[in-house]
């Protein structure tokens, strides 16, 4: 019932044989060291690729990627080359062997630390080992990262949505007026 959730594409496998899986059960676990998790059903094609390689990349998605994100969630990598079928561009990983998705505004390369069997899904707890960011979202003057302008995709009760208008920044409710 926790909604909305980010709709991400998780890339896994190797440069020779990779796959994409759509995941909405993803989140931050820790800041220091940086860690996140994804939850995947063991019967999914990508599950064994992640378990064998012990790494994956979380690719944030945008409204422009919605059709590809949905397609990757309803088709199996056992039957399709999802990168080829969706037209998404693989980009070589830097700290992992699996590719990132070039169209993603932010790709988070991860190495699995632990796998927890929880029931319908297993949770892959992972260390963040590298982050790839779209240069067009980085302010040339300040170096600030403007992910808020990427039109990120979310998932809520079977519906994909684009992120909306910013309402305030952290701490805005207590900021003193000038």
* pLDDT single digits (tens) 79-106: 999 999 999 999 999 999 999 999 999 9
Cα→Cα distances 19→56, 84, 124, 142, Å: 10, 10, 17, 36
Q: Read off the pTM.
A: 0.93
CA–CA separation, 51 and 46 (whole Å): 9
Q: Please report whether residue 52 resides in a domain.
A: yes
Q: What is the pLDDT of residues 95-145, one digit of tens each?
A: 999 999 999 999 999 999 999 999 999 999 999 999 999 999 988 889 888
| Domain with 31 in it | 5-162
Q: Is the pLDDT of residue 21 over 90?
A: yes
Q: Please report whether residue 38 resides in a domain.
A: yes
CATH of the domain at 62: 2.30.110.10
Q: Please report whether residue 128 resides in a domain.
A: yes
* Chain Cα centroid distance, residue 166: 21
Q: Please report whether residue 176 resides in a domain.
A: no
How many domains does the chain fold into? 1
């Amino acid at each position: 019932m926790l909604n909305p959730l980010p709709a991400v594409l998780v890339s896994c496998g190797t440069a020779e044989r990779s796959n994409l899986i759509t995941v909405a059960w993803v989140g931050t676990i820790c800041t220091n060291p940086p860690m996140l998790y994804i939850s995947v059903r063991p019967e999914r094609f990508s599950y064994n690729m992640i378990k064998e390689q012990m790494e994956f990349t979380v690719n944030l998605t945008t409204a422009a990627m919605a059709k590809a994100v949905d397609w990757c969630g309803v088709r199996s990598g056992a039957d399709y080359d999802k990168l080829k079928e969706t037209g998404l561009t693989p980009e070589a990983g830097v700290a992992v062997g699996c590719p990132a998705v070039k169209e993603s505004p932010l790709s988070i390369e991860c190495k699995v630390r632990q796998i927890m069997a929880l029931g319908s899904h297993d949770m892959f707890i992972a260390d963040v080992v590298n982050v790839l960011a779209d240069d067009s979202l980085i302010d040339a003057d300040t170096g600030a990262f403007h992910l808020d302008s990427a039109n990120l995709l979310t998932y809520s009760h079977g519906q994909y949505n684009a992120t909306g208008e910013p309402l305030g920044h952290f701490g805005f409710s207590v900021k003193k007026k000038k």
